[in-house]
């Protein structure tokens, strides 16, 4: 299973995937990393792991569609079975998404469909939400709107700041549920067909939860 990871930032999720791949628990190989930012620390992580990386700055392109096409060609050049968006901060157009339909995952730091878009931890505090967490979903043309795969959640602790919530979501949830979702996809336990998610050959009517995590991902 060949995985390409799209990044723009620090790459903590990328690191978790690289670590599980190296440990043999992912059932997949990260064959390429693509960043739209040349200063992304994720690129250093790729280099340290010996994974080829490509930088494609979006500023160099006439319009969104031209960037989308170039990005899709770059990604396709790695011949991926799965495309994993891990903190990739560009909205992708339908041209890109249709090309990798059913084999593209994203992680979002909220309990989707709540809080699509940016600043999720701040909005949880502003709205006084009782619960918070993160979601892995298949990517559709709608921003943060594709079919849900797995969510991890917790009760928002009193006195938590935006930064504390961000760290809790990342360390306790994202770094566990994302490698798990990729491992399921790699072994054929997870698939998406015509916008519907199947887990172990049964259609999912609600996202999976943390109790589904297998030993290496807990
Ligand atoms: C994560 O919070 C992820 O959910 C969001 O962007 C952030 C990326 O962080 N889409 P990192 O680059 O994996 O450290």
Q: What does the alpha-carbon distance between residue 41 and residue 11 come to, in Å, rounded to a whole number?
A: 6
* Mean pLDDT, residues 113-117: 97
Q: Partners of 193 in the beta sheet?
A: 196
Q: Is the dihedral of CA 89, 92, 47, 19 positive or negative?
A: positive
Q: Helix 12-23 to helix 175-186 angle, to the nearest 10 degrees?
A: 50
Q: What does the alpha-carbon distance between residue 18 and residue 28 come to, in Å, rounded to a whole number?
A: 10
Q: Find, among 20, 44, 12, the residue nearest to 174 by Cα.
A: 12
Q: Whose CA is nearest to atom 3 of ligand 1?
A: 87
The fraction of the chain above a pLDDT of 90, given in percent, is: 95
Residues 6+ apart with CB under 8 A from 213: 176, 177, 180
pLDDT tens by residue, 81-107: 999 999 999 989 998 999 999 999 999
- Of 19, 86, 117, 172, best ligand 1 pocket probe by most atoms within 8 Å of the beta carbon: 86
* Mean pLDDT, residues 6-12: 98
pLDDT at 77: 98
pLDDT at 200: 98
CA of 175 to the centre of ligand 1 (A): 10
Mean pLDDT (the chain) is: 97
pLDDT at 145: 92
* Mean pLDDT, residues 62-89: 96
Confidence of residue 143 (pLDDT cuts 50, 70, 90): confident
Please, are residues 96 and 83 in contact by the beta-carbon 8 Å criterion?
A: no
Given a cut of 90, is residue 40 above it in pLDDT? yes
> Residues with Cβ within 6 A of ligand 1?
7, 9-13, 42, 86-87, 107-109, 134, 170, 174
pLDDT at 60: 85
Active site (annotated) includes residue 108: yes
Given a cut of 90, is residue 8 above it in pLDDT? yes
Which of the residues 20, 58, 108, 121 is marked catalytic? 108
* Mean pLDDT, residues 176-188: 98
Q: What angle do CA 169, 171, 173 make, to 5 degrees?
A: 55
pLDDT tens by residue, 13-28: 999 999 999 999 999 9
pLDDT at 91: 87
CA of 87 to the centre of ligand 1 (A): 4
Q: pTM value?
A: 0.97
């Amino acid at each position: 299973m060949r995985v390409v990871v799209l990044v723009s930032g620090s790459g903590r999720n990328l690191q978790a995937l690289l670590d599980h791949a190296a440990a043999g628990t992912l059932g997949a190989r990260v064959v390429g990393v693509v960043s739209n930012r040349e200063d992304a620390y994720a690129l250093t992580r790729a280099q340290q792991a010996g994974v080829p990386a490509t930088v494609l700055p979006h500023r160099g392109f006439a319009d969104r569609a031209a960037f989308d096409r170039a990005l899709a060609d770059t990604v396709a050049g790695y011949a991926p079975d799965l495309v994993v968006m891990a903190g990739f901060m560009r909205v992708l157009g339908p041209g890109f998404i249709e090309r990798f339909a059913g084999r593209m995952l994203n992680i979002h730091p909220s309990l989707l469909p709540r809080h699509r878009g940016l600043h999720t931890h701040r909005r949880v505090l502003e709205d006084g939400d009782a619960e918070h967490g993160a979601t892995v979903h298949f990517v559709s043309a709608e921003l943060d709107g594709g079919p849900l795969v797995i969510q991890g959640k917790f009760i928002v602790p009193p006195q938590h700041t935006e930064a504390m919530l961000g760290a809790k979501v990342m360390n306790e949830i994202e770094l566990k549920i994302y490698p798990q979702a990729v491992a399921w996809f790699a072994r054929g336990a997870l698939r998406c067909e015509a916008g519907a998610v199947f887990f172990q050959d049964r259609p999912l009517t609600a996202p999976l939860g943390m109790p589904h995590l297998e030993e290496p991902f807990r």
